[in-house]
Amino acid sequence: MRIAKVVFDLPLEEPFDYLIPEDLIVLVGMRVKVSLGTRPMVGFVVRLEPHTTVANLKAIKAIKDPVSLFDGKDLNFARRFANYYGCSLGEALGVMLRHRRQPPRPALIPTAPAISPSTHLYHCPDGNYTPILNDLTRGRTDYFILVPDAFLPESLSLSAEQRARTGLRSQMFEAFAREPFIIMVDEDNGLYKQEQSPRYETRQLVLMAQAVYGFKVAFIGATPSVEVMQAVKEGAAGYTLAVAPALPKPMIVDLSQYKFIEKGILSPPVRSALQANLQAAKQTIIVLNRKGSFSVTRCSGCGHILKCPRCDCAITYVRRAKEFQCRHCTAHLKEAGECPECGKPSWRSYGFGVEHIQKELAGLFPTARIASFVREDKAIPPAFEVLIATQVVLRFKGRLKAEHIVVADIDATLSRADMRSSFRAWSLAMHARCLARHLIVQTRNPTHHAISALAADDAGLFYAEEMRLRRELKFSPFFHWVAVVARAKVEKTAQSVINDVYNILLKNKAEAISLTTSEPDIPAKVRDRYRFRVMAGATAVLPLMALIKQTLQEVKNRSAVIVTVNLDP
């Protein structure tokens, strides 16, 4: 008797046993056609056994591929992937397969001990990565450059060979088994986090794969993540400091020192810099991470905030489209209508967006060529004196060099309910600095450690304080939280499932694992689905995730609910 252990691209933990017919040659790593219950399915063979304890076995119907798609190293990596990010082995293999070319190509990494795995960090504060990339790839044809954004290769001035060996997050799975050298650019970029389940962090998968496949890794970035800097501090990685040319210190503008007579967001120092640049025919970029004109619209009668009809969040008014637009879904409102609370159509809009500043500048400098750039725009306007943009403009490092760049509202990033808010604010300013000769940051929090580090032009000061706070507050990389979120169209259904998750976690958890009570997620409703969450935390990921996976197997009545697991959200 020959038995195949088969897993599926589904949240099913244990493999299923299938009888191998005498006329089929089945190998580990192949895909096979089988029946799962009454459904025809394609699964992955992960093990072969001579016997089974299962009675009345179903037989494999056919093989899907003539060769194995995954070898022993691939399966080892997939198991690590699944254990770390809380998915099934079949789901991990499914992710890997979707991003590999077919048919599989032979691995290029030699099996002899010629590859000495190592990890190096190249910290490049001026954003000029091209010389480092050229040094790392000179004379080589066995590397892969991983970038967070399709726009970045153009900014990096890559050669034809380098471009051919550059790809996005999803393409790394093929590179793992082929290339002995992985170069990851801007590993701290949020675009490296997978937004669909399984919600993996690319940097972690690269390091996980390095341990399995044995390749070398180089991280290049202007603002290395706290996780990488802590690894460097602990001696787990090589550290190479790229020598950047001296840059002028950023100017920090304390907004609490100015009392504005007219409504606006731009301080007197910013206005002075704009005036000087216009007179000298030099460009200015203003970064504000809110598109539209107003971020909040409130009823002046009762104070009710106008929200998206599908999401539990304020809706943004976009003047150029003459409508309200939701930042979470595709909802558009041409008119606000009557207030649902008091019945009066007495709306007033507040807050600042890109369009609002554009209007403010047009009043201050009526003859200036003022342009805007948001995510929906295809290209930077070709001729401008002042550009108002969202953070998407950071894609154009290396292609823009203004005289001044102004981070107009860094406090909006600092005030987010997010463990990475300080890092994201500091990183935003540092990356913005790469687009101009001078950086101006407006804030009402001049003593915040991210702002103090900018004022002192001292990255070491920022990392030291950020690590101290994260250790004290129990955040990554010293402590890890997993958010389990239940989503459903019926509010009580989602709440019931997440309550079950909480109760099972509470019953089974070890003393070292922390647990929050179940509560509405933020936002509590997105795209017509209500969201509730519970969070569990521990210093070690694997036992924490094992508890989460065990818990979800015990939760019943999940057919109408989508449950997602997010490590270090």
Q: Is the pLDDT of residue 172 over 90?
A: yes
Higher pLDDT, 330 or 94: 94
Confidence bin at 328 (pLDDT 50/70/90): confident
Three-state secondary-structure class, residue 492: helix
End-to-end CA distance of the chain: 47
Q: CA 175 to CA 162: how far, in whole Å?
A: 14
Is 401 a member of any domain? Answer: yes
Interatomic CA distance for residues 569 and 555, integer angstroms: 22
Written as one string, the DSSP assignment of 263-277 is S-S--HHHHHHHHHH
User: Does residue 403 share a domain with residue 277?
Assistant: yes
At 400-425, the pLDDT tens digits run 899 999 999 999 899 888 899 999 99
Which residue among 448, 471, 494 closes a domain? 471
Q: Would the pLDDT of 105 be above 50?
A: no
525 and 418 in a single domain? The answer is no
Q: Minimum mean pLDDT among 147-161, 235-249, 435-449: which range?
A: 235-249
- For residue 443, being part of any structural domain is answered with yes
Tokens of 149: 């954004």
What per-residue confidence (pLDDT) applies to 355? Answer: 79
Question: What is the structure's pLDDT at 243?
Answer: 67
Number of domains in the chain: 4
| CA–CA gap between residue 431 and residue 126 (Å, rounded) | 8
Report the interhelical angle of 421-433 vs 459-473 (nearest 10°).
Answer: 160
Mean pLDDT on 58-66: 94
Among the candidates 180, 214, 241, a domain finishes at 241
Mean pLDDT of all residues in 35-40: 94
Give the whole-number percent of the chain exceeding pLDDT 90.
66
* pLDDT attached to residue 152: 84
pLDDT of residue 344 exceeding 60, the answer is yes
Interatomic CA distance for residues 569 and 567, integer angstroms: 6
With cut-offs at 50, 70 and 90, classify the pLDDT of residue 48: very high
Are 71 and 54 part of one and the same domain?
yes
CATH no. for residue 390? Answer: 3.40.50.10810
CATH number at residue 227: 3.40.50.300
- pLDDT given at position 102: 54
b/e code 317-346 from CB counts within 10 Å (16+ = b):
bbbeeebbbbeeeebebeebeebeeeeeee
- CA-based nearest residue to 504, from 566, 556, 567: 556
Residue 419: phi and psi, rounded to 5, are -65, -20
Dihedral angle of Cα 155, 161, 163, 166, to the nearest 10 degrees: -120
Residues 282 and 408 in one domain: yes
Of the three residues 471, 488, 516, the one that is the final residue of a domain is: 471
Q: Do 260 and 381 fall within a single domain?
A: yes
* 214: alpha, beta or left? (left if phi > 0; alpha if psi -120 to 50): left
Task: List the single range of 111-115, 466-470, 525-529 with lowest mean pLDDT.
Answer: 111-115
Residue at 130 is within a domain: yes
Banded model confidence at residue 338, pLDDT cuts 50, 70, 90: confident
The H or E element that residue 564 is part of is strand 562-567
Query: 317 pairs with which residues across the strands?
Result: 294, 324
Domain around 55: 3-98
What are the tens digits of pLDDT across the range 351-370? Answer: 677 877 888 899 999 999 99
Residues 421 and 391 occupy one common structural domain: yes
Whether 344 is covered by a domain: the verdict is no
List, for residues 241-261, the tens digit of each pLDDT value: 776 677 899 999 999 888 764
Task: Judge if 424 and 502 occupy the same domain.
Answer: no
Asked whether the predicted pLDDT for residue 93 surpasses 90, the reply is: yes
> How far is the C-alpha of 381 from the C-alpha of 471, rounded, in Å?
44
CB-based contact 253:267 (threshold 8 Å): yes
- Determine whether 303 is exposed, middle or buried from the number of CB atoms within 10 Å of its CB (0-12, 13-18, 19+): exposed
Do 130 and 214 share a domain, yes or no? yes
Supply the mean pLDDT for the chain.
90
In a domain, 34, yes or no: yes
Number of Cβ within a 10 Å radius of residue 132? 17
- The residue type of 57 is L
Residue 545 sits in a domain whose CATH number is 3.30.70.600
Residue 401 shares a structural domain with residue 268:
yes
d(CA 190, CA 148): 8
Residues 283 and 389 in one domain: yes
CA angle 140, 143, 144 (to 5 degrees): 145
Residue-wise pLDDT tens digits, 264-310: 789 999 999 999 999 999 999 999 876 545 677 888 888 888 888 89
The arithmetic mean of pLDDT across residues 146-153, rounded, is 89
Q: Say what the pLDDT of residue 116 is.
A: 65
Mean pLDDT over 138-153 rounds to 91
335 pLDDT above the threshold of 50: yes
Residue 214 included in any domain: yes
- Contacts of 279 by beta carbon, 8 Å cutoff, 6+ apart: none
**What is the per-residue pLDDT for 108?**
42
Same domain, 64 and 205: no
The answer to whether residue 326 sits within a structural domain is no
330 occurs within a structural domain: no
pLDDT value, residue 298: 85
Quick one: 229 and 376 in the same domain? Answer: no
Q: CB pairs under 8 A, 24+ apart, for 269-278?
A: 269/440, 270/406, 270/408, 270/440, 270/442, 271/364, 273/403, 273/404, 273/406, 273/438, 273/440, 274/361, 274/364, 274/365, 274/386, 274/404, 275/365, 277/385, 277/403, 277/404, 278/365, 278/368, 278/385, 278/386
